[in-house]
Structure 1
Amino acid sequence: MISVIFAIIPFCYNVLILAIAMAVTGLAMGVIDTIANIQLVSIYQKDSAVFLQALHFFIGFGALVSPLIADPFLSERCGNRTGGEESLHFHRSSVYNIRTFNTSTATPPLAHEEESIVSYAFWIMAVINLPVPIAVLVLMYLEKLIPCCPGSKSRLLDKDELSMETQGTEAAPAPEPQHPAQQEDDVGGHGDLFSCCRNGNLSGLPPSFFGIHILGGIVLFMTDGIVGAYAGFVYTYAVAPPMSLTPKTAGYLASLFWAAITAGRLVSIPLAYRFQPVRLLMVNLAGVIVTVLLLLLLYTSSTFLFVGTCLLGLFLSSIFPCMLAYTEDVLEYQGCATTVLVTSAGLGEMVLQVVVGSIIHTAGSYSFLLCGMIIGCIGFIVFFALLLCHRLHRNYLTGTSKKTAMVEEPSSEKNEERT
């Protein structure tokens, strides 16, 4: 779907059609992001932190490389995008010439040439994305998972039946009564993402279970909101007083920020193997606050703006995968937390950009860093509330297991007396 829509985007001559196309693309990307995170957590569980860091490294790497691939086609006619006032003047004059062109004649040559050049960028990205769905379809065909695929049932089902037959030949003890939630998990398997939130299970869940979902989502709402707002408005902050950098110099800040995020996720892969996710979260959240505080204090230093941008990207890079691994570990990998956290992160990146942009428009450029400081502090406070909620949830589970053990001991003694 992503490749098809990227291929037809150059033919969208209506803004509404283009908006619908971009919305469908975003929907497809959101499904891929959510399912990829859920599957890694479901497969690797205790070791999922390392693989989540690797996954999000490639997400950041793609966000860093994709603009570099498209940049030559976007800037060939309009000049260098970071070329200062000359390129802006050339772009404005080109737009003016297109608008004042006689509409009764054919399409302006300049507009037609720019349109064809930009189209190449979308077509190249569509072709680059194609090997992934092709490889998945080949794998599905080899495993006979495609419904219209000729042949018998899939190999994976054959393996499952073989293991069931092997287990059936062995002597098995009488089945013990299971908890309703456990029975539903056995029936639904890993494909049932919302088994923990069904009506039959909600009544038996403690408040701490829902608190962990909500607080973890708020932390990612804040931190991913900082990522989106900083990447979107650091250029605006840099070219405005008192920083007053040239547009060409300020244009490198966003690229440096994404490069730091990508490098931070690469470094976090071995760190996730050695340290627990909760420790990495605490260090990263504290680092975000300290970095933004230094940017506020040294607001006239252009050198530290670049250094702070790099540090902020490094600290923000691994918060999402660490939070995902931490919450799923606390909730015993039921899958619901992943969906909530991915959705909350996307909402934060969308909403806080609008909020911060409106504040910058009304209060000035200095409010950009002040908003980042406030958002970071709120995220840090909510994280400590999440730790407290985790402790309450752990105490609840410990008390429940003790009660279960006390109930099982008398019943086992009675069975021994009967025998």
Structure 2
Amino acid sequence: MPPRLDERIWSLFKRRWQQTFTYWSVFFSFGLCIAFLGPTILDLRCQTTSTLQQITWVFFSQQFALLVGSSLGGLLKKTLIPSLSALLSCTLIISLVFAIIPLCHQVVPLSVVMALAGLSMGVIDTIANLQLVKLYQKDSAIFLQTLHFFIGLGALVSPLVADPFLADDNCVLGTNWTSNSSSSSDLQHLRSSMGAHGAALHNTSQYPLHTEGEVITRVSYAFWIMALINLPVPMIVIALMYHESVLPCSSNSPRLLGKDSGSSTSPSVDSGHGSTFGCCNPAKLQGRPATFFLLHALGGAILFINDGIIGSYAGFVYTYAVSPPLLMHHKTAGCLDSIFWASITVGRLAFIYLSYKYEASRLLTFSLVGVILVQCLLMIFYTSSAFLFIGTCVLGLCISSVFPSMLAYTEDILDYKGCATTVLVTSASTGEMMLQLLVGSVIHSHGSYAFLLCCTIASFLGLCLFLLFLYVQHIHRKSESDSSHSTDMEEKPKIGGSVSQDPLRN
């Protein structure tokens, strides 16, 4: 990278480090929430004395609320609610949710609490991405890579915190527990098969889990520890609110009336971005070329598929590993999900540096082609347990940068009008939920090998959409260039005419 560019980005970061670090921190809260439910779901089943079919509604409530929250996060900027106030509320809600979960002894209250957490996660997802794009615009790629690294960091921390407090055996002791209860290995198998989002839940009737008896679980301590771990995040948001003078106790609180969070850093940052939904104003949409709308739709479709692959692979790789022909031991197969998320985290850390050196379009092409190659190799060597581990690791590395790179690239093409971030974030959340349901139903009907086939087809479709995206982007920039050229030609006679009339007026 040229030294001047390096110095300029570093100078931007030094001026805006507090805002940037705050948005990174709230994404750590996002990561804490996204990964704890899978490992703790059996203990929560015991706590609520419910069946597996009943407890899985908790997964659905969280995922659906996350989708709603992603859309709501974009609308918040259209109201009087400042984004920092929304982030403060959401991070406090997440800590409160962690503290309240141990007090929920029925499925319905637990589902409501988890929906509240999902809503907060969705709002955080949209606002943090929007604000970083707003702060750095053409230089936002590296900071978005770091932002999504913090999701992986939080997703690694929460299972580590929960693991020491999980029950080794059935945590509901019935009167006839010793005769028909599930063994520790069976419960471990069931826990892993539910995946990151409780995806693979078919054929669970073979595990007789009690719903009546003495509840023995220590998972409450894990949630209280996570509540304490998350507590510094709202404190960081409050510190930024004080710095931005949006608190009643701050010295220049009138700044709240005219400026949004982060806008005081540099007047030039706000110019060109405008309101989050300014580009969606019907009056401003008139005259927009069709390519403007196509780029939004294609970018959203690419991330719909990308996040759908991530969710499906994390949710079903264990089920695939323990099924024929691999028949991997459940403890060994249980490491695959952790390896996948760890490789995504490491990949995002590596792409922070790569974003310095290469354009987003090149990184996206490399990533999407790499995802296809890995998926094809997994299908070819489908009988190799060793290659499944290698492929899982490489897949996580390749797919890790698609979301932040696509977000930065799309906003750059559309001149940071603001709508792209909300469309892309919402599409990604939708894909993560919908493709898991689709892949799960296909596995249930056609067997575990269909899992690899579905992910491979989705990968090819994602690359085809990206190639179409590049073609539409080329047409879009050409049409904008022609439009600006014709506008300049129309203005020149007016300027000349006004000059020629000046002597007559004199």
Q: TM-score range by the shorter chain?
A: 0.7 to 0.9
Unaligned runs of 5+ in 1: 80-84, 102-107, 161-166, 168-184
Cα displacement string for residues 294-347 of structure 1 (whole angstroms, at most 9, x for unaligned residues): 000000011100000001001100000000010000000111000000000011
1:30 and 2:122 matched: yes
> How far, CA to CA, are the matches of 2:135 and 2:473 in structure 1?
23
The answer to whether the 8 A contact 2:242-2:250 is kept is no
**Among 27, 43, 49, the residue aligned to 2:141:** 49
1:328/1:143 CA distance change after superposition, 3 Å = closer
Q: Which residue of 2 aligns with 1:177?
A: none
The answer to whether the 8 A contact 1:324-1:338 is kept is yes
The answer to whether the 8 A contact 1:38-1:338 is kept is yes
1:271 and 2:354 matched: yes
Q: Which residue of 1 aligns with 2:197?
A: none
The answer to whether the 8 A contact 1:53-1:265 is kept is yes
How high is the sequence identity, in percent, across the aligned residues?
55
Q: Which residue of 2 aligns with 1:407?
A: 490
> How far, CA to CA, are the matches of 1:227 and 1:97 in structure 2?
30
- SS of the equivalent of 2:328 reads coil
> How far, CA to CA, are the matches of 1:307 and 1:151 in structure 2?
56
> How far, CA to CA, are the matches of 2:327 and 2:314 in structure 1?
18
Amino acid at match of 1:131: P
> How far, CA to CA, are the matches of 1:219 and 1:90 in structure 2?
37
The answer to whether the 8 A contact 2:307-2:428 is kept is yes
Q: How does 1:289-304 map to 2 (within 5 A)?
A: 289-304=372-387
- SS of the equivalent of 1:20 reads helix
1:203 Cα deviation after fit: 1.4
Q: TM-score, normalised by structure 2?
A: 0.70
1:153 Cα deviation after fit: 3.4
> How far, CA to CA, are the matches of 1:291 and 1:281 in structure 2?
15
Q: How does 1:30-179 map to 2 (within 5 A)?
A: 30-75=122-167, 86-89=183-186, 98-99=210-211, 101=213, 108=214, 111=215, 113-114=216-217, 117-146=218-247, 148-149=248-249, 153-154=253-254
1:290 Cα deviation after fit: 0.6
1:233/1:89 CA distance change after superposition, 3 Å = closer
**Among 340, 353, 374, the residue aligned to 2:436:** 353
- SS of the equivalent of 2:166 reads helix
> How far, CA to CA, are the matches of 2:420 and 2:394 in structure 1?
29
1:33 Cα deviation after fit: 1.1
1:75 Cα deviation after fit: 3.9
Q: Which residue of 2 aligns with 1:344?
A: 427
Bigger RCO of structures 1 and 2 (CA < 8 A, at least 6 apart): 1
1:13 and 2:110 matched: no
Cα displacement string for residues 185-233 of structure 1 (whole angstroms, at most 9, x for unaligned residues): 97xx856200001011121111100000000000001111000000000
**Among 269, 292, 297, the residue aligned to 1:209:** 292
1:122 Cα deviation after fit: 1.1
Q: How does 1:331-410 map to 2 (within 5 A)?
A: 331-410=414-493
Amino acid at match of 2:307: D
Cα displacement string for residues 47-102 of structure 1 (whole angstroms, at most 9, x for unaligned residues): 100000011111111112211111111246669xxxxx95135789xx9685464x
- SS of the equivalent of 1:57 reads helix
> How far, CA to CA, are the matches of 2:371 and 2:184 in structure 1?
35
1:371/1:409 CA distance change after superposition, 3 Å = same
Cα displacement string for residues 116-173 of structure 1 (whole angstroms, at most 9, x for unaligned residues): x111111111111111112212332354312x4376634688999xxxxxx9xxxxxx
**Among 387, 390, 401, the residue aligned to 1:318:** 401
Amino acid at match of 2:470: L
1:21/1:151 CA distance change after superposition, 3 Å = same
The answer to whether the 8 A contact 1:264-1:318 is kept is yes
1:44/1:100 CA distance change after superposition, 3 Å = closer
Query: Over the residues paired in the alignment, what is the CA RMSD in angstroms?
Result: 2.5
**Among 293, 310, 316, the residue aligned to 1:233:** 316
1:417/1:68 CA distance change after superposition, 3 Å = same
Q: Which protein shows a greater Rg?
A: 1
> How far, CA to CA, are the matches of 2:305 and 2:156 in structure 1?
22
- SS of the equivalent of 2:334 reads helix
1:297/1:402 CA distance change after superposition, 3 Å = same
1:157/1:227 CA distance change after superposition, 3 Å = same
Unaligned runs of 5+ in 2: 1-92, 172-181, 191-206, 261-266
> How far, CA to CA, are the matches of 2:212 and 2:344 in structure 1?
44
> How far, CA to CA, are the matches of 1:152 and 1:53 in structure 2?
33
